[in-house]
Amino acid sequence: MTRAIVVTGTDTEIGKTVFAAGLASALRAKYWKPIQAGLEEDANGASDAARVASLGVPQDAILPEAYRLTTPCSPHRAAELDGLVIDPARLALPDVKRDLVIEGAGGALVPITRDLLYADLFARWRAPVVIVSRTALGTINHSLMTIEALRSRGVPILGMAFVGAAHEDSEATICSIGKVARLGRLPIIDPLNAETLAAEFADAFTLGDFA
C-alpha cells in the first residue's frame, strides 16, 4: 500500500520542488506532481518533474502528471485558458506499492477548480503534509495561516521544512505557536545539483521524522 507524503508551501517559488526532490531521493520514493501549470514559460515544455529528475530522482520513479497546463497561473484558471475541465477523480492517490512524495502547486489554498482548493484535496487524501516555508520576512504570517488552513480541514501535518538562511527566532516561533514539528532547514545550495542536494538534505533532515 502506498505511503504518501504531501509537500505543500506557504507561497510559490520558495524551494518546494527542491525540497520534494531531496525528500523523494532520500526515501527512494516515487514523485508525483498531479497538476503542472506554466509550460509556456519554457520552449521545451520543462516541468517540475523534469527538474526533480535533474536533481537525482530516477526517471522511472517519476509519475506522469494528471494535467499539464500551459499558462503560469493557478490551475483552475490555467485549465480554463486551455479549454479543459479538471476532473478531481483523476487526482485520486495512485497506488504505487512504495513511498510516494506528492508536490502541490503554490500554497495550500491555491484553487484546483472553482470549488476545490489544494487543501481540500489533501483532506480527501488523508495523507500527512510537510509545509515548506522560506525563512525571509513574512514567513511567520504565511506559515501560521497555512497551518490553520490545513488543520481546519483535518489535514495531518508532519511539520515545517524551512528553506533559506537561518532565522532561529522565526523558525522557533512558527513551530511553537503553530504546535507543529520543526523538521529542519535546507540552505540555499549553490551550485545546486543531485550531489549537493543529497548532501545538504542529509545534513538538514532526519529521515525518521518523515515516518
CA dist 54 → 39, 50, 129 (Å) = 17, 6, 24
C-alpha cell at 134: 522560506
Alpha-helix residue ranges (DSSP H) falling in 42-180: 48-54, 75-81, 118-125, 139-151, 168-178
Alpha-helix residue ranges (DSSP H) falling in the chain: 16-27, 48-54, 75-81, 118-125, 139-151, 168-178, 194-204
User: Three-state SS for 37?
Assistant: coil
Active site residue 30: no
Identity at 137, one-letter amino acid code: L
User: Three-state SS for 35?
Assistant: strand
CA dihedral 34, 37, 41, 43 (to 10 degrees): 50
Catalytic residue among 16, 30, 33, 97: 33
Catalytic residues: 33
